[in-house]
Amino acid sequence: MSLIVMKFGGSSVGDAERMKRVAKRIVDRKREGHRCVVVVSAMGDTTDDLIDLSKQLYDGAPPAREMDMLLTTGEQVSVALLSMAIQNMGEPAVSYTGWQSGMITEDLHGKARITDIQPHRIHTALEKDNVVIVAGFQGMTEDGEITTLGRGGSDTTAVALAAAIHADLCEIYTDVDGIYTTDPRVVKNARKLKEISYDEMLELANLGAAVLHPRAVEYAKNYNVALVVRSSFTQNEGTYVKEEAEMEQGIVVRGIAYDKNIARISILGVPDKPGQLAKVFTSLAAEQIDVDIIVQSGVLNGLADFSFSVSLSDRDKALQTIEGIRGEVGFREVTSEGDLVKISIVGAGMVSTPGVAAKMFDELSKIGVSINMVSTSEIKISCVIDGKQLAEAVQALHTAYGLDAQEQVFVGGPQDRR
């Protein structure tokens, strides 16, 4: 008998019918002999509806404390209803809010971090054979204030809870059936991964594969929580997220991610004096603008050019900010481009495999894609390219690195597909 945490997102419990399906799924798991702790998000559009209401009553951004009071009702509704649905199928169940389940957070509304978990109620309820249902995304400060964990919070609740109660497995149920080598909407041959390391998953999560929240993956890595991402609508096996050391070896590139929301900003003719770049990036940081890749070209006649990438949505604010320090920095010209994407190959095996980057540049050049910017980490290489060439580039790299579904069959033989 194992102890598992099952997490269901808002779309999995979007209406009464889906809620029943989720309940059935949980009841089946319990009847297989598992003890189940379930984390659930607010139903479908509930959160958006509550936000709409708040906008009618407060001009601008509503006070964060009251938003937490408001939004946490969404998960409370879900847990109560799911508990009823499970009890209706004949299994005992009990629901808890974040504070009832002992989720203690720092005193920061809207995006608090979990500081402690006191799961005594959960243990007691499990001993009485209950399915325990916990409201995701929410907690309580030491002073009894209700807080939320911010975006992706229910994933974090599930993983943190799994760590605290020493669960054998944390199952993240979602509307896709696992992590894919790349976006199946772009590459028809995209293949579901059997497993992926925490670090690889973190790179993919950060790069726009929005299945699992990066914070939850970090938490899982830190506490070594065994994770699986699987579909709430099918019985397909999902993708296991685990320690690299436990994984099958020899795979160089695990997956390909992309981010369409990229703009490049170039500042030309900057006097080559110490501290000029620092002025630019300090002022951008002060405006909460995240800068991703930075490239500086050579110096000519004491003047340097450099460029950097930001989110497309931050482009205008970034340009304004830079104009605002023109006098201070003294550059000649600032330009920007918007129709760009960042394409990234991710794989823990890269570290020990020379020539991975060269292969990427070569493959892209073969299909006539020029590379605007490059950035690398130990397990990832990212290139910023023209947005119109995205699909073609992803497809080419997917094939080149042996990720296509058919290729896998040819290389490893049928028995490897199990």
Binding site residue list? 7-10, 47, 75, 174-175, 180, 185
In the list 36, 67, 262, 267, the residue contacting its own copies (rule: CB under 8 A) is: 67
Instruction: List residues forming the annotated binding site for substrate.
Output: 47, 75
Among the listed residues 114, 47, 101, 35, the one whose alpha carbon sits nearest the alpha carbon of residue 77: 47
Asked if 407 is part of the footprint of its own copies (rule: CB under 8 A), the reply reads no
Residue 109 beta carbon to its own copies: minimum distance, rounded to whole angstroms = 12
Nearer to its own copies by Cβ, of 124 and 406: the residue is: 124
Residue 62 beta carbon to its own copies: minimum distance, rounded to whole angstroms = 5
Asked if 88 is part of the footprint of its own copies (rule: CB under 8 A), the reply reads yes
Write the single-letter amino acid at 323.
E
Asked if 70 is part of the footprint of its own copies (rule: CB under 8 A), the reply reads yes
Q: Which two tokens stand for residue 333?
A: 């010209």
Residue pair 373/309 in contact (Cβ under 8 Å)? The answer is yes
Binders in 139-198 for its own copies, by CB under 8 A: 144, 146
Nearer to its own copies by Cβ, of 100 and 283: the residue is: 100
In the list 3, 51, 80, 104, the residue contacting its own copies (rule: CB under 8 A) is: 80
Asked if 14 is part of the footprint of its own copies (rule: CB under 8 A), the reply reads no
Residue 273 beta carbon to its own copies: minimum distance, rounded to whole angstroms = 48
CA separation for the pair 215, 247 (Å, rounded):
22
Asked if 27 is part of the footprint of its own copies (rule: CB under 8 A), the reply reads no
Asked if 223 is part of the footprint of its own copies (rule: CB under 8 A), the reply reads no
Q: Long-range contacts for 88-94 (Cβ within 8 Å, ≥24 apart)?
A: 88/23, 89/23, 89/24, 89/27, 90/27, 91/27, 91/30, 91/31, 91/131, 92/128, 92/129, 92/130, 92/131, 93/130, 93/131, 93/132, 93/133, 94/125, 94/130, 94/131, 94/132, 94/133
Asked if 87 is part of the footprint of its own copies (rule: CB under 8 A), the reply reads yes
Asked if 56 is part of the footprint of its own copies (rule: CB under 8 A), the reply reads yes
Q: Interior CA angle at 172 toward 206 and 235, to 5°?
A: 125
Binders in 89-148 for its own copies, by CB under 8 A: 94-95, 97, 100, 121, 144, 146
Write the single-letter amino acid at 230.
R
Instruction: List residues forming the annotated binding site for ATP.
Output: 7-10, 174-175, 180, 185
3-state DSSP assignment of residue 8: strand
In the list 12, 41, 72, 181, the residue contacting its own copies (rule: CB under 8 A) is: 72
Asked if 244 is part of the footprint of its own copies (rule: CB under 8 A), the reply reads no
Backbone dihedral region for residue 245 (phi beyond 0: left; psi -120 to 50: alpha; all else: beta) = alpha
- How many Cα atoms within 13 Å fall on the side-chain side of residue 322? 25
Nearer to its own copies by Cβ, of 85 and 196: the residue is: 85
Number of chain positions touching its own copies (CB under 8 A): 37
Q: Which two tokens stand for residue 236?
A: 């397909």
DSSP-derived pairing of the beta strands 195-197 and 239-242: parallel
Give every CB contact of residue 415 below 8 A, 6+ residues apart in sequence.
Answer: none
Nearer to its own copies by Cβ, of 73 and 376: the residue is: 73
In the list 65, 113, 194, 317, the residue contacting its own copies (rule: CB under 8 A) is: 65
In the list 54, 231, 283, 376, the residue contacting its own copies (rule: CB under 8 A) is: 54
Residue 108 beta carbon to its own copies: minimum distance, rounded to whole angstroms = 17
Nearer to its own copies by Cβ, of 84 and 285: the residue is: 84
Q: How far is CA 23 from the centre of its chain?
A: 26
Residue pair 264/309 in contact (Cβ under 8 Å)? The answer is yes
Q: Interior CA angle at 83 toward 34 and 113, to 5°?
A: 80
CA separation for the pair 25, 239 (Å, rounded):
18
Residues near its own copies, by CB under 8 A:
16, 19-20, 23, 50, 53-54, 56-59, 62-63, 65-67, 69-70, 72-73, 76-77, 79-81, 83-85, 87-88, 94-95, 97, 100, 121, 144, 146
